[in-house]
Structure 1
C-alpha cells in the first residue's frame, strides 16, 4: 500500500506541475510577472497536498506581512521541506538552493529563473549566491534558506538539528532584515531521506516563530544571531519530541 500511495502522489505531483507549467513559463519571461509565477508554485503545492490527503497545520506565532522583507530560516530534514514553503509562507521569497536542481526538466527551468542557485563545493559560487541574495533582499524580496546547508546524513531514528552556517545571518544583518525561524515538525515523517523513496500520510505540521530583529546589529553579532535562531528551532523540536 505504501508503494501505491507513493506512486499516486508522484503521479499528481508531476501532472499538476505539467498542467500549470505553461502559465508559469509565461510569467517567468518578465521580472514584473515573476511574483505571479511564485504564486503558481503555491497553488501547485496546495493542490498536491489536497490530492495526497495531507492536512496542513501551521502554528503562526506572528502575522507574516506579505509585503515585508524577511530572511526565513528553517530546519531541513526532508526534500518535502521545499514543496511546503510556498504553502505555509504567504510572502514573495527566493530559495537558496543547490545548482543541481536546474538539471530537472521544467522544474529546473523554473528554479533557475526564480531562485538563487549555489554550488556548495565552489567557493566562488557560494560568494556569488551570497551577493545575489543580498541584492534580492535590497530589491524588496525575501529569502528562504536552510542554514544547515542541506540535508545532513542522519543516524537511524529522529533527525537531529545540525550547526548553522553563517550566510543567512550575514545577509540579514547587512540589510537589517529580521530573521524568521521556522520549525518543520513532521516533513521527515512524510518523506524520509532514505531509500527506497516512500511517502507516508502524516499531517504537515510547522511553526512560524516570532521574528528576530537585526536592527542595529553589525557583523560582530553574527554568532549571537545564529545561536538565537538555532535555539528557537532546537527548543521547538525538543518540545515536540517530548510529546511523542
Structure 2
C-alpha cells in the first residue's frame, strides 16, 4: 500500500509540474517576471499536498513583514523540506541548493533561473554565492537555506553543525534570521534510498526572528549557536514525545 501511495504522490508531483512548466518557462524569460514563476512554485505545492491527502499545519510564532527580507534557516532531514518551504513561506525568496539539482530535466532549468545553485566543493563558488545572496537581500528578496549544508543525518535524525554562510550574509546585510523547524518530514519521506511516502500530516514551526542589527562578524558564532538551539529545542520536544509513544507500545 505504501508503494501505491508513493506512486500516487509522484504522479501528482510530476504531473502538476509538467502541467505548469510552459508557464514556468514563459515567466523565466525575463527577470521582472520571475516573481510570477515564484508564485507558480507556491501554487504547485498548494495543489500537490491536498491531492496527496497531506495536511500542512503551520505554527507561526511571529508575524513576519512582507516588506522585509529575511534569511530563513531550517533543519534538513528530508527532500520533502524543499517542497514544503514553497507552501509555508509567502515571501519572494531565493533558495540556495546543491548545483546537482540543475541537472534534473526541466526542474533543473527552473531552479537555475529562479534560485541559487551552489557547488560547495569550490571556495570561489561559495564566495560568489554569498555575494549574490547579499545582493538579493539588499533588494528585499529573502533567502532560504539549510545551514547544515544538506541531509547529513541518519535516522533517528540529529542536526549536523551549521555552516557559516547563512549567518555571514545575515550580518553583512543586518537582516533577521528566522529559524524554522520541521519535526517529522523525515518520517513522511525518509532519506533511506527507497523514497517512499508515508501519509502523515506535516508540522511546521516558524519561530521568532533573531535580529542582527548591530552585529559584526565577531557575533557570527553566537548567532549560529542561537539559531541552532531554537530549532534543536523544538526537535527535542518531538523526539521526547516519540520516545514515550514507543515505550507505551
Runs of 4+ aligned residues of structure 1 deviating over 4 Å after TM superposition are none
Tell me the TM-score normalised to structure 2 length: 0.95
Is the partner of 2:72 in helix, strand or coil? strand
Query: 230, 233, 239: which one pairs with 2:231?
Result: 233
Is the partner of 1:147 in helix, strand or coil? coil
Kindly report which structure 2 residues correspond to 1:31-70, keeping only aligned pairs within 5 A, or say none. Answer: 31-70=31-70
Is the partner of 1:150 in helix, strand or coil? coil
2:204 corresponds to 1:178: no
Kindly report which structure 2 residues correspond to 1:91-240, keeping only aligned pairs within 5 A, or say none. Answer: 91-154=91-154, 157-240=155-238
Partner Cα distance (2:64, 2:38) in 1: 17
Partner Cα distance (2:195, 2:75) in 1: 20
Partner Cα distance (2:161, 2:232) in 1: 10
| Cα offset, 1:32, TM superposition | 1.2
| Cα offset, 1:153, TM superposition | 4.0
Is the partner of 1:181 in helix, strand or coil? strand
C-alpha contact (below 8 Å) 2:77/2:153 kept by paired residues: no
C-alpha contact (below 8 Å) 1:186/1:202 kept by paired residues: no
Deviation per residue, 1:22-71 (Å, 9 max, x gap): 11111111111111110100000011001110001011001122221000
Deviation per residue, 1:3-37 (Å, 9 max, x gap): 11111111110000011111111111111111111
| Cα offset, 1:122, TM superposition | 1.4
Aligned to 1:84: 84
C-alpha contact (below 8 Å) 1:58/1:207 kept by paired residues: yes
C-alpha contact (below 8 Å) 2:62/2:208 kept by paired residues: yes
Is the partner of 2:179 in helix, strand or coil? strand
| Cα offset, 1:195, TM superposition | 2.0
Partner Cα distance (2:238, 2:64) in 1: 23
C-alpha contact (below 8 Å) 1:180/1:212 kept by paired residues: yes
C-alpha contact (below 8 Å) 1:70/1:178 kept by paired residues: yes
C-alpha contact (below 8 Å) 2:153/2:159 kept by paired residues: no
Is the partner of 1:163 in helix, strand or coil? coil
Tell me the TM-score normalised to structure 1 length: 0.97
Where structure 2 has 5 or more consecutive residues not aligned to the other structure, the ranges are: 243-249
C-alpha contact (below 8 Å) 2:95/2:143 kept by paired residues: yes
In the alignment of these two chains, the number of paired residues is 242
C-alpha contact (below 8 Å) 1:94/1:115 kept by paired residues: yes
Where structure 1 has 5 or more consecutive residues not aligned to the other structure, the ranges are: none
Is the partner of 2:13 in helix, strand or coil? helix
